[in-house]
A and B are shown apart, each in its own frame.
Chain A
Amino acid sequence: MVDTPVAVAPGKATSTAAVLGRKEDGAMLGVSRSSRYIAHAVLILGIVIVAFPIYYTFVASTHTLQTILRPPLPLLPGDQFFENYSEALFGGVGRIGGVAVSTLLFNTMVVALAIAIGKIIISILSAYAIVFFRFPFRMVFFWIIFITLMLPVEVRIMPTYKVMSDLGLIDTYTGLTLPLMASATATLLFRQFFLTIPGELVEAARVDGAGPYRFFKDILLPLSRTNIAALFVILFIYGWTQYLWPLLMTNRNDMNTIVIALKKMISFADADTQWHLVMVTSMLAIIPPILVVLLMQRWFVRGLVDTEK
């Protein structure tokens, strides 16, 4: 949940290009055929380790509860796919007060989208102000925002909870999302990008009679498209995978995010955990963010390497 500090200086631009653009440049001198085979073998083993827990969860989500309770589980999917998924999605799960997983998915989607979009809007505006205007206290504001890098929720759990309950924001979408919308990472990223926009461009726009609004809408936003896409992927995942915050902010079962509800569904101590539904819920909690990462892979990789550097 911590925003990883961003180094404001440039410097790693090359590596971004390298991740994205580098084409196969043929066999490298000194890498023998056999060592290339070994490399493939190691990579395949690595992928098995990386993918196996997810694959096995999928397998488990298609078996009956009885099969799961008698390990070892088969390596291939069973025939309960439709039964299990429809039961979890629409039937409601007893352990979490009969809330259907579709409700949880909806909550989580709202949270992830609101955090991603809200954060992008808030940060692009403040970065715009800090880079393209001169006003008293400009640098003070910049530092106020910057220092929030050092104040992750984890280090101020109880006081934050107190503030939220005083404001009556427990069990609300506002409470789940608004506090997470302000963070320095996105602002710093936009600031860094805006600083690379040549002054001539601003001047030309002003000569042509564009005010701050026109300049923002017609020049700055189109130029920032890639950055926005990249940030969107990262922030969507950030929002989707939140744990401590929704844990503190929700009491009602129907306001839970899917990750929190999943935790509530599991008990290793007692026997009546409905494992088949747990597995279905896990899959449903994993698939949306994975899809976002895979479909937007180009921006994601670029955004990651950019934001963190």
Chain B
Amino acid sequence: MSPRVVFPNKVLPYLLVAPQLAITLIFFYWPASQAVYQSTLREDPFGLNSKFVWFDNFKRVLSDPGYLNSLQVTAVFSVSTAFVSMAVALLLAVMADKVIKGRGLYRTLMIWPYAVAPAIAGMLWLFLFSPSIGSLAIGLRSLGIRWDPLLNGTDAMILVVSAAAWKQISYNFLFFVAGLQAIPKALIEAAAIDGARETKRFWTIIFPLLAPTTFFLLVVNTVYALFDTFGIIHAVTGGGPGRSTETLVYKVYSDGALNQLMGVSAAQSVILMVIVIALTAVQFRYVERKVHYG
């Protein structure tokens, strides 16, 4: 930071940071340290006694098939959600970059889902595709597809991925449009004069130049799929059928809030914190410096 002109005041700055600091310490650091502390304890079923068990909870969590399953579910869910919503958004953004008339209108119509809560997005999709009353489910059935997201794990996963990806299209679209407009038009026109067709221009010029935007969105979408989609899972499938849509965050919630397994839930929290810290570090390391096109 460059040397700045500042106000010479001894007490005022402390008063200014006090509100944020107080809330941060009480509602962030205190519970987070509790999570770390609890993750080393084991309580008896009545919550009366607890004893210090070192890393036992972590060992238990990491050797629990249920946890490994939810790791896998989370991976499938996050990768599919990020991929589907980014691919659709990129396609639409590239198209929007080509048209001349109506760009503003398209953008306006495209940003609606951003304002829809993830849980509601999930419920809307379930309403459309529910086996009993879903109007679109009838369409699927008439095509001969056996479809039941309430009983079949794969169908349930497809449904939550669709809803999660749908909600995120607007966001990715806005960023891709911004990224595309930052690419110098002269570059693309030069390639056109040299005879490169549109598809070729896309893969050899536009797509590589979009790398920073794409990478940034990849991180954001992963974070979104990991955490913000809790509402979708909770409202639509409740982790089921079986455990086919039980993501890591949902498991922390169900082990802690529903099953009262405090130590185990806390250990999972700590593992999640490590994941968030890693993601943040990746974001800062690469997005800051920008991924560069070699």
Contact = CB atoms under 8 A, between A and B. Distances in A.
Interface stretch (A6-14, A80-88, A90-98, A99-107): A6-14
Taking chain A's interface residues, is the majority helix, strand, or loop, or is none over half, making it mixed? helix
Contacts of B114: 237, 293
10 contacts: A29-B193, A38-B95, A51-B112, A145-B20, A150-B273, A150-B277, A154-B230, A202-B6, A241-B117, A243-B235
Contact of B27 (A43, A135, A160): A160
Contacts of A304: 171, 174
Given A47-B109, A150-B277, A305-B175, A199 B17 contact: no
Contact of B132 (A24, A206, A268, A294): A268
Contacts of A162: 31, 34
Contacts of A262: 119-120, 123, 235
Contact of A282 (B25, B120, B220, B224): B120
B92 A46 contact: yes
B257 A19 contact: no
A133 B31 contact: no
B239 interface: no
B287 interface: yes
A163 B228 CA distance: 22
B178 A16 contact: yes
A203 interface: yes
Contacts of A159: 30-32, 34-35, 38, 266, 269
B224 to A, nearest CB: 8
Interface in B21-74: 21, 23-32, 34-35, 38
B5 A152 contact: no
Interface string A137-164: 0100100110011111011111111110
Contacts of A79: none
Contact of A158 (B13, B103, B228, B262): B262
A69 B109 CA distance: 30
A157 B253 contact: yes
A160 B31 contact: yes
Interface in A174-213: 178-179, 181-182, 187, 195, 199-200, 202-203, 206, 211-212
